[in-house]
Amino acid sequence: MIRIFSYIGLLGGLLALTILIVWQGIGDVFSVLYESGWILLTLPLVWIPCFILAVFSWRLLFPIDRTPPFKELLLGLWMGRAVNNILPVASIGGEIAKARLLILWGRNGIDASASVMVDKTVQALSLIPWAIMGTGLLVYLAIDNNLAIKILLGVSVLSISILFFIYFQRAGMFGFAAKIVGKFTSSEGWGQITNNAHDVDASVKAIYKDKKRFALSIFWRTAGLTLQTGEVWLGCYILGHPIGLVEAIMLKSLTSIITDIAFIIPNGYGVQEGGYLLFGAMVGLSPDFSLALSLATRIREVTIDVPGVFYWHHIEAKFLINKTRSRKA
């Protein structure tokens, strides 16, 4: 069912993106990009520090004595993010890919599964201070206080939802789910699956128990989101319409929030562009420039995410080939 909604979201998002570009004028939008020159292709480099901080954040969610090497976490996060951004997986498939990659590389499956589950929570929690920051700047710039109130109400609902999710995680959601499913299956191996589920629950609780490392993980994630502002600020500069750092933070923050909330639409196609149109107008950006800026930030999807998906496919294919050969032997 989730996959069906994801495909519907992908088609709807691409349709909305196409309509917005046609509506504003394909020639006008792409002329802004073309006139910036080849230097625009260097824009994804600004995003790399944000990615490094995300690795630091995830690293804190493993037991100290069983933390995977930084290289494995870096590659896992790169490919997991690529899967979430490129494929219609409702921002969940990438998390599964991250855990599976670590397991394929010989890491503890319980640790990998628990860390990925909590990391997803950390990603959601980091959106709260990020959204508050952008909303605060919206008020500071005296742009639209009514919109700011609506955003804060939305953030409040998001916060409550996340707290409920954490509660269910700490209450042993995996073991409970496995137990329920076990009542409707006669599989002989289900008992082992149930035991593993309880082990994951115990590992999740241990991560939350270390409040200092958990809080630091949220800090690094939030810091990474904040650094993404550089992508918008530099993008505006390269495209020929410089804006201030405060405006860039507000624009990136609020656009990111609405894109993340619409997680069912892969990579927020159409949603991100709508956000740039809405909030870009508030800082004096024309519609065609706002769309060009949004497309400029998507360059990293081609230069970073697409190769990530292909590399993930290569690793999975290599594993299946080796597994088939070992069976024949």
- The CA distance from 210 to 206, in Å, is 7
Backbone phi, then psi, for 300, in 5-degree steps?
-70, -20
Quick one: angle between helices 287-297 and 2-24, nearest 10?
A: 140
- φ and ψ of 187, to 5 deg: -60, 135
d(CA 328, CA 150): 61
Per-residue pLDDT of the chain (329 residues; tens, 9 = 90+): 556 766 677 787 778 778 888 887 788 788 888 888 888 888 989 889 999 999 999 999 999 999 999 999 999 999 999 998 888 887 788 888 898 899 889 898 889 988 998 998 999 899 899 988 888 888 887 677 777 787 778 778 878 888 887 877 777 665 655 444 334 344 443 344 445 777 888 888 899 999 999 999 999 999 999 999 999 999 999 998 899 999 999 999 999 888 887 777 878 888 899 989 988 988 889 999 999 999 999 999 889 999 999 999 999 888 888 777 777 66
Domain boundaries, the chain: 2-328
pTM here is 0.86
Q: What angle do CA 186, 190, 194 make, to 5 degrees?
A: 135
Please report which residue ranges of the chain form alpha helices under DSSP H: 2-24, 26-36, 48-59, 70-86, 93-104, 109-140, 145-170, 173-182, 190-209, 211-227, 229-239, 245-261, 271-282, 287-297, 299-300, 306-328
Helix (H) or strand (E) holding 69: none
